[in-house]
C-alpha cells in the first residue's frame, strides 16, 4: 500500500477546486492512515488548509485509481517544455488548464492537445502570420516547429499531396474566439504555400488564389455582425472546399484551381432584431457610411440611426473597424470574384430596400382594430420603387392574409403583431435569398475548371461553437445540435487514432470506454425526435409553441430519454443534456422560426416585380441552395414544404458525410476572457470552453489509455541515472526494461511497444520525481566532495605557508655566510690579479722582440722565393698554350666529322621525306592545297621582287646624285689648291685664312667619303638580298615546274585546278588593284582603324606583325585582312556554330589541383565575335542578326539546363564575354553610323546587345535561384542540427543518418567558389554571390531557430556557435569579411542560449550582449529555451520582463528576419574585351570556321609584306 501511495510524500503538490481561480495548488503537510481511512492534509496557496479523506477499501477496489486521489501537479520544467497537453505526465483538467494558462501568459497562444490545436485569442495583433513565418512551416513536419495553425494547415496540405486523400480543417469555438480570423489565415496559407522559397508573394497569374481570398470580405460583410462577445461574429456556418490539381511539371506539387462554398443556418432573425450593444450585418452600416452621393440619393439612404432594423442595438460603429474602408474592400472582393459593378449596385439596391421595409409603420386602425399602413408612407413607397413592386398589392398582403377553407377563398385581416411578423418575414426571406444568390454566384466564378480524377480538395469548416446563454432559442438549438454531431465525429476519430497506435505497437490493451452522445443525437434527429415533432407541429394550421412543448413533455420526459429534462417550474422551457453541459431552451418562437416563410400571396407579389434582379434572386429558392440540396428534403414528402429545421438537418448530414470521407484536422478556438482584453485569463470561462469544444474529452480518452509515451532511446537517455552505470546496456530497449523493473513496482503502469514505452497517467512524473531525488543525492555527494577538496586545499595552503617562512629564515642565514665567503674570495682575487699583470707585462716585451726578428727573416726568404715563382709561371704558360693548340686541332677534326655524319643522315631523311611528299602531292586535295599556297607564295615573291627592283633603281639614282655632288666637291677642292699656289706669296693673314678654308673643305670631303662608303655598303647589301630573293624565286620556279610535270599524269584534275587557280589569280589581281578598306575601317579614324585591326587580327594560331597606322605620309593605304565571302555565306556556318561549337563543346571540369589558363580554353563567344566582325567587314547585316539571335538562343538553352553549376557558369561567362565584344565593336563603329537609323549596324548591335543582356541576367538569376534552393535544403541540418563539438552532444532531435553536415555545407561553398573562379567570373560578382549565400544561411538558420520546439538548450548554443565561428573563419580566409555581418544575429542567438537566465541582472546582460536581436526575438528565444542536465528553466517573470520590453514601443517588432528585405542585387559585371581569341583546339571539327580564319591570316600576311615594302621605301627616301 505504501508503494502504491509513494507519490504522496511530504511536500507533494496537488490541485484543489477554487471559486475564483478554478484550481489552486496545495502542498502536502501531513499523511495519516487510521484504520481504513487515508487522511492527507494540504496547505493551499491561499493560506487555507485542506484535508482530504478517502477509504482504503475503495482505493484498493479501484486499483488506486488517480481519479480517487487529489490530482497532482506536474513538474514546472515539464509544463514549460510541453506544447502538447497529452504529453503531460499528470493528465487531468487542472493540469490542462494550468498549462494553457502558463503558455498564454507567456504570449504563446497555440498548444497541441493530441490531434487538436488549441488556439487562444490574444485580442491583439501578433507578428506570427507573415510570409516569413509561412516559409518556415512550409515543408516541415508538424512536430518539428512550435504549435501553430500553419503547422496544422501544412500537415493537411502535405497529406493531401502524398496520401491522395481529401482533407478537412474544422475550426470551431464560441463567438469571439477567433474562428473567422483563423480560417482566413488558413486560406491565406494555401494561397501562398506553393510559391518558391525565395518569395512568398503571389505572382500575376494567381487570380484563383486572389478570388478565393476575396471571398472572405464578401462573406463577412453579408454574414458577420457585431455581438456582445465578438465585433466580427460569423452568424452562419461555412465550409470552403479549396480545389487543387497536380501540376503537369511536378506530380508532387499542386496548384489551386478553384473553390466552392457551402453555408449553413444563416441567422435570419438578426436582420429584424438586435439585442442591446449589437449590430445588424456589416453590409448595411457600410452602405450607409460609404455609398456614393448618386446612389445614396437614388436609394434614399440616410444615417444608420434612421432605420429601425439598424438602431435597435443602439450601436452603429465598432472600435477598430472603418465602415468606409471595409465597404471599399467588399467592393474590391466582389470585383475580384467576377461580380460586375452594375450587379453590385443592384445588390446594394436590395439592401437599401430592406432598410426601408423595416421603416414601414404598421398601426392599429381605430375603427376595427386591424393592422393598417398609411398609403403615403415614405418607406413603403421607397421600398416598392426599389424592389419594383406594386404598392397596393405589397401593402395589402402585409396587413392581410388569404385563407382557403373547403374550396373557398377569403381574405382575412391581421392584427398589428401579425402584420409586423409578415413584414419582417418578407425582409428576412429576401435577404436570405440574396445571401444564397451571392454564395451561388461566387461558386460559379470560383468553380470554373473541370476537375480531373487526380484533383483533391481541402475543406475549411468555420462553424459556430457550442452556445449556452441565459435565453436560448431555436438558433441555439440548431447550433448545439450541429456541435453534437461534430463532437461525435471528433470523439470517434480520436478514439480510432488512439487505438491504431496501440495496435501498431502491439500493446496488451483493452477497449477504452468513452462517452458516446449518439443517444442525444438520436433523440434530436430520429423519427419522432425533437425536430420531427417540431416539423409536424409547424405544418399544422393552428400549431402553437404551447402545444409543441406539451408534446415534448409527453414523448421525452420519461426514463427512456436520459438526455431530456422537464424543468421543475414553468411550462415554456425544456432542458437537453448536451455533451458539454445542460442547456435550457425557451420554446417561444420555435414554430415561427422553423417555418420562417412568406405567404403565397407575398411570393406572387415578389414574382410580379418589375425589378428583374429581384426575380433572379428569389429564384434561388427554386433551385439547389448553396449550402444544401432542398430537393432531397422535398422528395421525402412532395406535399410538404421543407422547414428550416429539416433543411438544416439535411445539410448537416451532408456535411458529416463529407467530413467522414476526408482526413479531419481540428482547430479549437478559445476566448480567454469576456472583456476582450489582451492576454488576460479567466479560468472558469476557459474551462467551460475546453469542455464545450471537446479538448477535455480528448484528455479523457488519452488518460484512459497510455497518455505518456517515449521512444526507447529517449527514455534510456533521460532516465538512465535511475540505474547503476554498471548495469547500463547499449540496447535501449533492454536498458529501458531494466530501469522500469527497478523503478516501478506497481503492475499495469506501463506497457512496452515495438518502438516506444507507454505509461499510465502520472507515471512519468513519478519517474521524474525519483530521478530528481537521485540527482539531489548526487548533488549532495558532489557538494560533500567539493567541500572536502576545498578544506584540504586550505590545509595544504597553510602548510605550504609555514614551509615558506622556514625557508626564508634559513635563506637569510645562508646568504650571510655566503657574503663572508665572497669577501675572502675577493681578497685572494685581487692579489692574484696584481701578480698576473706584472708577469704579463714582462711576457709582452719578450714577445715583441721575437716578432721583430721573425718579420725580418721572413721578408728575406720571400724575396728569394719570388724569383723562383716567376720562372715557374713562365714555363707553365708556354705549356698551356701548346696543349691548347693540340686540343683545338683535335676538336676541329672531330667537329668536321660530326657535321659530315649529320649531313648524311639529314640528307637520307630529306630524301625519305621527299618521297613521302611526292606521294602526297599526287592526291587531288594535296595538289589543290599545294597549288594554292605556291600561287600565293609566287605572287608574294613576284611582288617582293618588283619592290626590290624599284628599291634598287632608287638606290642607283641616289648613288648617281651623290657621285655628282662628290665631283663638284672635288672640282671645288682643285680650285682651292690652285688658289693656294697662287696665293703662296701673299701675306700671312691671307695664308692663315686660306688654311682654315682648306681644313673645312677637307673635313667636308672626309664626311662625304664616309657617306659614300656607307651608301656603297647599303647598295651592296641590297644587291645581295636581291640576289638571294632571285635565287629563291628561281628555286621556287624550278619546284613549280617539277610539280607541274608531276601533275600532267592526272590531266582532268590538273585542268580543273588550273581553272580555279586562274580564277583566284584574277580575283587576287582585282583585290590588288582595288585598294578598298573594310566596312569598319573605311569610315574610322587612324587610331580606331588600328584598334579594329588589332581586335580582328589577334590570333593565337599564327602570330604576325601588327599592321601600321595609316597616316598622311604613308605612300598608300594598307588593306585589313579579309575572309572569303563564299565561306561566310555558307548555309552550314550557322549549324557549325550552334551544334559543334555550342551544344557539342567540351567544357572543362573545375579541378582543385589544376587551374586552367584562359588562353587554353575554347570560348565560343570569341569565335562568334570573330565571325561577327567578318560579317560587318563584308557588310552582311542580315547575317549578323540571324547568326547572333541563333547563337544567343542556343547558349540560353544550353545554360538553362542547370544540370551542373560549372556548365551554367561557363555559358554565363561566354554571354558576358559576348556582351563585352558587341559593346566594343559598336563603340568602334563610326560616329555617323552610331547616330543613324534603325537599319544601321550600330542600331542592330545595340538592339541585339540589349536582348543579350536580358538573357544574361535571366540566366544568371536562374542559376542564383538554383544555388539558393540547393543551399536551403542543407542549411538547417548543417548549421542547426550538426554537432561537431564532442562532450556537448544533444541526444534529443539528433541529426538523422545520411543528413547533411557542416562539412557538406563548406564543401558546397568551396565548390561554388572554385567553379566561379574556373569560369573566370570577376571577383566582384564572386564576392556578391558568396555574400548572398552567407546571408541566406544566416537568415534561414536564425528564423528556423526561432520556430523550433523543444530544441533550444545551452548545448545547442555551443554547437551552433562553433558552426558559426567555422563559417566566419571560412569567410575570413577568402577575404569575405563583410559577409560576417549576416551571421551576427545567429551568433548572438547562440550566445544567448549559453548565458545565465535566472536573475533580473541576467536579462540586462542578455539585452546588452545581443544588441542585434530585437526584444521580440529575445523574448521568443527565452520562451523556447529548454532546461537539460541540471540546468534550470527560464523563470516566467524573466520572460514577462522581456515581453514588457518588446511591447514598450506600443507595438511588437518583427519576429523573423525577412529574407527578401536586404536582398543583394546580383547581376554579372560588364566586361571590356579588347582582343578576340581565335584559338581552336584539335579535338573540335570546325572546317568552315577554320577556313575563314586561314583566309584572314593569309590576307594578313600579304598586308604585312606590303607594309614592310612601304616602310623600306620610306627609309630609302
d(Cα 1208, Cα 809) in Å, to the nearest integer?
Answer: 84
d(Cα 935, Cα 928) in Å, to the nearest integer?
Answer: 10
Catalytic residue at 175? yes
Q: What would you report as the CA-atom Rg of the chain, rounded to the nearest whole angstrom?
A: 53
Catalytic residue at 230? yes
Catalytic residue at 467? yes
Q: Which position among 93, 166, 233, 643 bears the catalytic label?
A: 233
d(Cα 1364, Cα 1412) in Å, to the nearest integer?
Answer: 15
From the CB of residue 1463, how many other CB atoms can be counted at a distance below 10 Å? 14
Catalytic residue at 320? no
d(Cα 1255, Cα 1379) in Å, to the nearest integer?
Answer: 28
Q: Which position among 459, 465, 645, 1357 bears the catalytic label?
A: 465
CA 1344 to chain centre: 12
Catalytic residue at 234? yes
Strand order in the sheet with 37-44: 13-18, 22-34, 37-44, 49-55
Please state the φ and ψ torsions of residue 1152, each to the nearest 5 degrees: -75, -35
Catalytic residue at 1050? no
Cell 491504431 found at: 500
Asked if 64 and 4 touch (Cβ cutoff 8 Å), the reply is yes
d(Cα 341, Cα 338) in Å, to the nearest integer?
Answer: 9
DSSP strand pairing (224-225 vs 582-586): unpaired
Catalytic residue at 180? yes
1113 CB-near residues (< 8 Å, 6+ apart)? 1514
Q: Which position among 234, 425, 1249, 1319 bears the catalytic label?
A: 234
Asked if 1262 and 1468 touch (Cβ cutoff 8 Å), the reply is no
Q: What angle separates helix 1436-1446 from helix 1415-1424, to the nearest 10 degrees?
A: 160
Angle at 559 between CA 553 and CA 562, to 5 degrees: 85
Q: Which position among 86, 111, 168, 180 bears the catalytic label?
A: 180
Q: Which position among 93, 111, 131, 175 bears the catalytic label?
A: 175
Q: Which position among 230, 1341, 1447, 1502 bears the catalytic label?
A: 230
Q: Is 794 helix (H, G, I), strand (E, B) or coil?
A: helix
Asked if 1393 and 1431 touch (Cβ cutoff 8 Å), the reply is no
d(Cα 1095, Cα 1076) in Å, to the nearest integer?
Answer: 19
Q: Is 1236 helix (H, G, I), strand (E, B) or coil?
A: coil
Q: Which position among 176, 237, 543, 694 bears the catalytic label?
A: 176
Catalytic residue at 43? no
From the CB of residue 1025, how many other CB atoms can be counted at a distance below 10 Å? 13
Angle at 721 between CA 716 and CA 725, to 5 degrees: 95
Short-list 1216, 1309, 1316, 1323, CA closest to 1259: 1216
Q: Which position among 154, 278, 467, 768 bears the catalytic label?
A: 467
**Long-range contacts at 1132-1138 (CB < 8 A, ≥ 24 apart):** 1132/1488, 1133/1171, 1133/1187, 1133/1488, 1133/1489, 1134/1186, 1134/1187, 1134/1190, 1136/1486, 1136/1487, 1136/1488, 1136/1489, 1137/1164, 1137/1167, 1137/1168, 1137/1171, 1137/1187, 1137/1190, 1137/1191, 1137/1194, 1137/1489, 1138/1190, 1138/1191, 1138/1194
d(Cα 683, Cα 120) in Å, to the nearest integer?
Answer: 13
d(Cα 464, Cα 480) in Å, to the nearest integer?
Answer: 9
**Long-range contacts at 578-582 (CB < 8 A, ≥ 24 apart):** 578/466, 578/480, 578/483, 578/484, 578/517, 578/520, 579/484, 579/487, 579/515, 579/517, 579/520, 579/694, 579/697, 580/466, 580/468, 580/483, 580/487, 580/688, 580/691, 580/692, 581/468, 581/688, 581/691, 581/692
d(Cα 1031, Cα 1036) in Å, to the nearest integer?
Answer: 9
d(Cα 1360, Cα 1065) in Å, to the nearest integer?
Answer: 79
Asked if 110 and 116 touch (Cβ cutoff 8 Å), the reply is no
What is the DSSP secondary structure assignment for residue 313, as one 8-state letter? S
Q: Which residues are catalytic?
A: 175-176, 180, 230, 233-234, 465, 467
Amino acid at each position: 500500500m505504501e508503494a502504491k501511495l509513494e507519490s504522496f510524500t511530504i511536500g507533494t503538490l496537488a490541485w484543489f477546486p477554487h471559486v475564483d481561480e478554478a484550481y489552486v495548488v496545495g502542498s502536502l503537510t501531513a499523511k495519516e492512515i487510521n484504520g481504513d481511512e487515508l487522511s492527507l492534509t494540504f496547505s493551499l496557496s491561499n493560506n487555507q488548509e485542506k484535508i482530504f479523506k478517502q477509504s482504503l477499501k475503495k482505493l484498493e477496489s479501484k486499483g488506486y485509481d488517480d481519479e480517487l486521489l487529489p490530482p497532482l501537479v506536474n513538474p514546472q520544467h515539464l509544463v514549460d517544455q510541453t506544447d502538447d497537453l497529452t504529453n503531460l505526465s499528470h493528465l487531468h483538467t487542472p493540469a490542462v488548464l494550468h498549462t494553457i494558462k502558463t503558455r498564454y501568459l507567456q504570449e504563446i497562444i497555440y498548444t497541441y492537445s493530441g490531434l487538436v490545436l488549441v488556439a487562444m485569442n490574444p485580442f491583439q495583433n501578433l507578428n506570427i502570420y507573415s510570409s516569413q513565418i509561412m516559409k518556415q512551416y512550409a515543408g516541415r513536419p508538424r512536430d518539428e516547429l512550435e504549435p501553430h495553425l500553419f503547422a496544422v494547415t501544412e500537415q493537411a496540405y502535405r497529406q493531401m499531396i502524398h496520401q491522395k486523400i481529401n482533407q478537412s480543417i474544422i475550426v470551431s469555438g464560441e463567438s469571439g474566439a477567433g474562428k473567422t480570423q483563423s480560417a482566413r489565415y488558413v486560406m491565406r496559407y494555401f494561397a501562398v504555400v506553393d510559391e518558391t522559397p525565395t518569395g512568398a508573394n503571389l505572382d500575376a497569374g494567381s487570380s484563383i488564389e486572389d478570388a478565393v481570398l476575396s471571398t472572405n470580405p464578401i462573406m463577412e460583410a453579408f454574414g458577420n455582425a457585431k455581438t456582445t462577445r465578438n465585433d466580427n461574429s460569423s452568424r452562419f456556418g461555412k465550409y470552403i472546399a479549396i480545389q487543387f490539381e497536380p501540376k503537369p511539371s511536378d506530380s508532387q506539387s499542386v496548384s489551386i484551381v478553384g473553390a466552392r462554398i457551402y453555408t449553413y443556418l444563416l441567422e435570419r432573425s438578426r436582420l429584424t432584431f438586435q439585442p442591446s450593444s449589437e449590430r445588424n450585418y456589416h453590409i448595411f452600416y457600410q452602405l450607409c457610411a460609404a455609398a456614393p452621393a448618386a446612389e445614396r440619393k437614388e436609394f434614399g439612404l440616410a444615417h444608420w440611426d434612421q432605420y429601425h432594423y439598424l438602431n435597435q442595438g443602439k450601436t452603429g460603429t465598432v472600435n477598430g473597424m472603418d465602415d468606409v474602408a471595409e465597404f471599399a474592400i467588399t467592393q474590391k472582393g466582389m470585383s475580384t470574384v467576377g461580380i460586375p459593378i452594375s450587379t453590385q449596385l443592384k445588390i446594394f439596391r436590395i439592401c437599401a430596400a430592406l432598410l426601408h421595409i423595416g421603416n414601414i409603420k404598421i398601426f392599429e386602425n381605430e375603427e376595427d382594430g386591424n393592422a393598417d399602413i398609411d398609403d403615403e408612407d415614405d418607406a413603403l413607397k421607397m421600398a416598392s420603387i426599389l424592389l419594383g413592386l406594386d404598392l397596393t398589392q405589397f401593402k395589402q398582403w402585409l396587413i392581410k392574409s388569404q385563407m382557403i377553407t373547403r374550396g373557398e377563398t377569403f381574405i382575412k385581416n391581421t392584427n398589428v403583431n401579425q402584420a409586423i411578423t409578415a413584414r419582417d418575414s418578407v425582409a428576412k426571406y429576401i435577404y436570405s435569398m440574396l445571401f444564397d444568390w451571392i454564395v451561388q454566384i461566387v461558386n460559379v466564378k470560383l468553380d470554373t475548371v473541370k476537375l480531373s480524377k487526380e484533383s483533391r480538395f481541402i475543406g475549411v469548416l468555420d462553424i459556430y461553437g457550442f452556445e449556452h446563454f441565459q435565453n436560448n432559442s431555436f438558433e441555439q438549438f440548431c447550433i448545439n445540435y450541429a456541435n453534437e454531431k461534430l463532437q461525435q465525429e471528433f470523439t470517434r476519430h480520436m478514439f480510432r487514432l488512439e487505438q491504431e497506435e496501440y495496435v501498431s505497437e502491439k500493446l496488451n490493451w483493452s477497449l477504452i470506454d468513452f462517452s458516446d452522445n449518439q443517444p442525444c443525437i438520436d433523440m434530436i434527429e430520429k423519427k419522432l425526435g425533437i425536430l420531427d415533432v417540431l416539423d409536424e407541429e409547424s405544418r399544422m394550421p393552428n400549431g402553437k409553441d404551447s402545444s409543441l412543448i406539451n408534446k415534448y413533455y409527453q414523448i421525452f420526459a420519461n426514463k427512456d430519454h436520459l438526455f431530456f429534462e422537464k424543468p421543475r417550474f414553468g411550462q415554456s422551457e425544456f432542458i437537453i443534456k448536451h455533451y458539454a453541459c445542460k442547456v435550457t431552451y425557451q420554446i417561444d418562437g420555435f414554430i415561427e422560426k422553423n417555418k420562417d416563410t412568406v405567404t403565397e400571396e407575398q411570393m406572387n407579389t415578389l414574382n410580379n416585380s418589375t425589378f428583374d434582379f429581384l426575380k433572379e434572386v428569389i429564384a434561388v429558392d427554386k433551385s439547389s441552395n448553396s449550402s444544401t440540396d432542398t430537393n432531397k428534403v422535398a422528395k421525402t414528402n412532395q406535399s410538404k414544404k421543407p422547414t428550416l429545421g429539416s433543411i438544416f438537418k439535411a445539410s448537416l448530414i451532408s456535411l458529416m458525410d463529407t467530413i467522414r470521407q476526408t482526413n479531419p484536422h481540428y482547430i479549437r478556438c478559445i476566448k480567454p476572457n469576456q472583456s476582450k482584453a489582451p492576454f488576460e485569463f479567466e479560468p472558469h470561462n476557459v474551462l467551460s470552453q475546453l469542455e464545450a469544444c471537446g479538448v477535455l474529452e480528448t484528455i479523457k480518452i488519452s488518460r484512459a489509455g497510455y497518455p505518456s509515451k517515449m521512444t526507447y532511446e529517449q527514455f534510456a537517455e533521460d532516465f538512465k541515472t535511475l540505474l547503476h552505470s554498471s548495469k547500463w546496456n547499449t540496447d535501449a530497449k533492454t536498458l529501458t526494461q531494466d530501469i522500469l523493473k527497478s523503478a516501478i513496482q506497481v503492475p499495469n503502469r506501463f506497457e512496452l511497444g515495438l518502438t516506444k514505452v507507454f505509461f499510465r497517467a502520472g507515471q512519468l512524473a513519478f519517474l521524474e520525481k525519483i530521478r530528481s531525488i537521485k540527482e539531489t543525492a548526487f548533488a549532495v555527494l558532489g557538494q560533500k566532495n567539493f567541500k572536502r577538496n576545498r578544506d584540504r586545499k586550505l590545509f595544504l595552503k597553510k602548510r605550504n605557508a609555514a614551509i615558506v617562512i622556514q625557508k626564508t629564515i634559513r635563506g637569510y642565514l645562508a646568504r650571510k655566510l655566503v657574503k663572508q665567503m665572497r669577501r675572502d674570495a675577493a681578497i685572494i682575487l685581487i692579489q692574484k690579479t696584481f701578480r698576473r699583470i706584472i708577469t704579463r707585462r714582462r711576457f709582452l716585451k719578450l714577445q715583441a722582440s721575437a716578432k721583430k726578428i721573425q718579420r725580418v727573416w721572413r721578408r728575406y726568404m720571400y724575396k728569394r722565393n719570388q724569383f723562383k715563382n716567376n720562372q715557374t709561371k713562365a714555363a707553365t704558360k708556354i705549356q698551356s698554350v701548346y696543349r691548347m693548340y693540340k686540343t683545338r686541332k683535335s676538336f676541329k677534326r672531330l667537329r668536321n666529322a660530326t657535321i659530315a655524319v649529320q649531313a648524311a643522315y639529314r640528307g637520307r631523311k630529306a630524301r625519305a621525306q621527299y618521297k613521302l611528299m611526292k606521294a602526297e602531292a599526287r592526291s587531288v586535295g594535296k595538289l589543290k592545297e599545294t597549288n594554292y599556297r605556291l600561287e600565293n607564295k609566287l605572287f608574294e615573291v613576284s611582288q617582293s621582287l618588283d619592290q626590290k627592283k624599284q628599291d634598287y633603281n632608287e638606290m642607283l639614282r641616289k648613288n648617281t646624285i651623290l657621285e655628282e655632288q662628290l665631283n663638284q666637291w672635288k672640282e671645288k677642292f682643285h680650285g682651292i689648291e690652285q688658289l693656294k699656289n697662287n696665293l703662296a706669296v701673299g701675306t700671312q693673314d691671307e695664308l692663315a685664312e686660306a688654311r682654315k678654308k682648306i681644313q673645312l673643305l677637307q673635313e667636308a670631303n672626309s664626311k662625304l667619303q664616309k657617306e659614300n662608303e656607307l651608301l656603297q655598303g647599303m647598295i651592296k647589301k641590297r644587291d645581295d638580298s636581291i640576289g638571294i630573293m632571285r635565287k629563291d624565286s628561281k628555286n621556287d620556279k624550278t619546284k613549280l615546274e617539277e610539280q607541274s610535270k608531276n601533275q600532267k599524269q592526272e590531266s582532268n584534275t590538273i585542268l580543273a585546278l588550273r581553272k580555279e587557280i586562274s580564277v583566284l589569280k584574277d580575283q587576287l589581281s582585282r583585290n590588288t588593284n582595288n585598294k578598298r578598306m573594310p566596312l569598319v575601317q573605311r569610315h574610322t579614324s587612324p587610331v580606331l582603324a588600328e584598334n579594329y585591326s588589332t581586335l580582328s587580327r589577334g590570333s593565337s594560331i599564327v602570330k604576325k606583325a601588327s599592321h601600321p597606322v595609316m597616316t598622311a605620309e604613308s605612300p598608300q593605304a594598307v588593306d585589313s585582312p579579309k575572309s572569303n565571302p563564299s565561306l561566310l555565306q555558307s548555309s552550314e556556318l550557322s549549324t557549325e556554330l550552334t551544334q559543334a561549337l555550342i551544344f557539342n563543346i567540351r567544357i572543362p571540369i573545375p579541378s582543385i589541383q589544376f587551374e586552367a589558363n584562359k588562353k587554353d580554353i575554347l570560348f565560343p563567344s570569341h569565335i562568334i565575335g570573330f565571325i561577327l566582325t567578318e560579317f560587318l567587314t563584308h557588310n552582311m547585316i542580315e547575317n549578323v542578326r540571324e547568326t547572333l539571335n541563333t547563337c544567343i538562343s542556343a547558349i540560353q538553352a544550353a545554360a538553362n539546363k542547370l544540370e551542373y553549376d560549372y556548365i551554367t557558369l561557363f555559358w554565363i561567362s561566354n554571354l558576358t564575354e559576348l556582351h563585352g565584344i558587341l559593346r566594343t565593336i559598336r563603340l568602334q563603329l563610326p560616329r555617323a553610323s552610331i547616330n543613324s537609323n534603325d537599319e544601321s549596324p550600330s542600331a542592330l548591335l545595340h538592339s541585339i546587345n540589349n536582348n543579350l543582356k536580358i538573357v544574361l541576367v535571366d540566366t544568371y538569376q536562374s542559376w542564383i535561384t538554383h544555388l539558393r534552393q540547393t543551399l536551403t535544403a542543407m542549411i538547417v541540418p548543417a548549421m542547426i542540427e550538426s554537432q561537431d563539438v564532442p562532450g556537448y552532444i544533444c541526444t534529443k532531435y539528433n541529426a538523422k543518418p545520411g543528413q547533411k553536415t557542416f562539412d557538406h555545407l563548406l564543401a558546397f561553398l568551396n565548390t561554388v567558389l572554385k567553379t566561379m573562379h574556373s569560369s573566370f567570373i570577376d571577383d566582384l560578382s564572386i564576392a556578391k554571390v558568396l555574400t548572398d549565400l552567407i546571408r541566406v544561411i544566416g537568415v534561414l538558420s536564425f528564423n528556423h531557430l526561432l520556430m523550433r520546439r523543444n530544441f533550444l538548450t545551452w548545448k545547442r548554443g555551443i554547437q551552433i556557435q562553433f558552426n558559426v565561428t567555422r563559417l566566419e573563419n571560412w569567410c575570413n580566409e577568402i577575404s569575405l569579411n563583410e559577409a560576417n555581418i549576416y551571421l551576427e544575429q545567429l551568433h548572438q542567438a547562440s550566445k544567448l542560449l549559453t548565458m545565465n537566465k535566472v536573475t533580473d541582472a541576467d536579462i540586462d546582460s542578455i539585452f546588452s550582449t545581443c544588441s542585434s536581436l530585437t526584444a521580440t526575438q529575445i523574448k521568443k528565444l527565452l520562451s523556447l529555451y529548454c532546461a537539460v542536465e541540471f540546468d534550470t528553466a527560464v523563470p516566467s517573470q524573466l520572460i514577462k520582463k522581456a515581453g514588457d520590453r518588446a511591447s514598450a514601443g506600443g507595438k511588437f517588432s518583427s519576429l523573423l528576419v525577412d529574407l527578401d528585405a536586404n536582398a543583394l542585387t546580383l547581376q554579372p559585371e560588364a566586361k571590356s574585351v579588347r582582343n578576340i581569341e581565335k584559338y581552336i583546339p584539335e579535338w573540335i571539327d570546325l572546317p568552315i570556321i577554320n577556313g575563314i580564319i586561314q583566309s584572314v591570316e593569309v590576307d594578313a600576311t600579304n598586308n604585312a609584306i606590303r607594309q614592310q615594302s612601304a616602310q623600306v621605301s620610306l627609309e630609302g627616301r
